[in-house]
Amino acid sequence: MTDRRKLAAGNWKMNGTSAALAEIDALAEAHPAPGCEVLICPPATLIHRAAQRAQGTAIAIGGQDCHHEPAGAHTGDISAGMLTDAGATHVILGHSERRADHGETDALVRAKCEAALGAGLVAIVCVGETLAEREAGRTLDVVGSQVTGSLPDGATAARVVVAYEPVWAIGTGHVPTVEQIGEVHGHIRKLLLERFGAEGAGMRILYGGSVKPSNAAEIFAVADVDGALVGGASLKAADFSGIIAAL
Ligand code: PEP
């Protein structure tokens, strides 16, 4: 299957308390029938209420991480099944901030992805090179090995999304050229096709890193860009709306 429905995914990171739920109402009102899938991943404390607020709208709610075990002595962690129970349908895994702040490896991200799939979630698996890796000419090798190491064999087009997020573009206002984005997305697509065949053809590849309403259309026109993972510009419905409209 190659019919890849575009996805606009918002990652609120560690931002937002109860008052931020109003942004979900505003987004739902602005996009009663969006031309793409719309996902908001609020902090864990808001997931349950966000999912209740989004009920009956076109907005899906997701987590920003999950543990690889279903339950147990893991203080402060949240399992994939707990996310589902709270109303989440998606989860972001292996974000570069988690890889850097919590030492997450490809093997751990892969185990988390297996747990997410087992709980019925759609997993958005993040990959991306640092500036030093790009400057050393290692981008395709680094991203390729992250894709290979982080995705489990059971990955399917319906349940797994890859997000290419160059670390140096996240929250910096620096965006790769459309040629650079196209090169990496093409490489990821090739790897997905080689490993997963038709399922790989159908897997969505998002771009993430300083996407704004002003640059979204240009990025979305690049081959194999099937949507965006958006941080800062997803916090306000007015900004995220401009990105959704460009898809
Ligand atoms: C992100 O953190 O996933 C991200 C892409 O952030 P920003 O859009 O703020 O660069």
Mean pLDDT of 163-182: 98
Q: Is 218 among the domain residues?
A: yes
Closest C-alpha to ligand 1, atom 3: 231
117 lies in a domain?
no
Mean pLDDT of 111-117: 98
Of the candidates 37, 87, 98, 108, which has an alpha carbon nearest to the alpha carbon of residue 64?
Answer: 98
- Within a domain: residue 182? yes
Q: Is 95 in the active site?
A: yes
Domain span at 241:
7-24+42-93+123-128+138-246
* CATH code of the domain in which 209 resides: 3.20.20.70
Ligand 1 geometric centre to CA of 159 (Å): 22
**Is the confidence at residue 2, as pLDDT, over 70?**
no
Provide the token pair at 114. Answer: 């297996």
Q: Residue 224 gets which letter from DSSP?
A: T
Contact 205, 224 (CB under 8 A): yes
Beta pairing class for 122-127 and 227-230 = unpaired
Phi, psi of 175 (to 5 degrees): -120, 135
- Determine, yes or no, domain membership for 29: no
Contact at 8 Å (CB) between 128 and 167? yes
- pLDDT tens sequence across 65-98: 999 999 999 999 999 999 999 999 999 999 999 9
Q: Which residues contact 5 (CB under 8 A, 6 or more apart)?
A: 36, 37, 204
**pLDDT for residue 3 is more than 90:** no
Here the ipTM equals 0.98
Q: Which residues does a 6 A CB cutoff place in the pocket of ligand 1?
A: 11, 165, 170-171, 208-211, 229-233
According to the annotation, is 79 in a ligand binding site?
Answer: no
Residue 233, pLDDT > 70, answer yes
Q: Does residue 36 sit in helix, strand or coil?
A: coil
Establish whether 174 is a catalytic residue: no
Q: In degrees rounded to 5, what are phi and psi of residue 208? A: -140, 140
The closest-lying atom of ligand 1 relative to the alpha carbon of residue 234 is 8
- The answer on pLDDT for 1 being more than 60 is no
pLDDT at 172: 97
Residue ID of nearest Cα to ligand 1 atom 8:
231
Q: Does residue 231 have a known ligand-binding role? A: yes
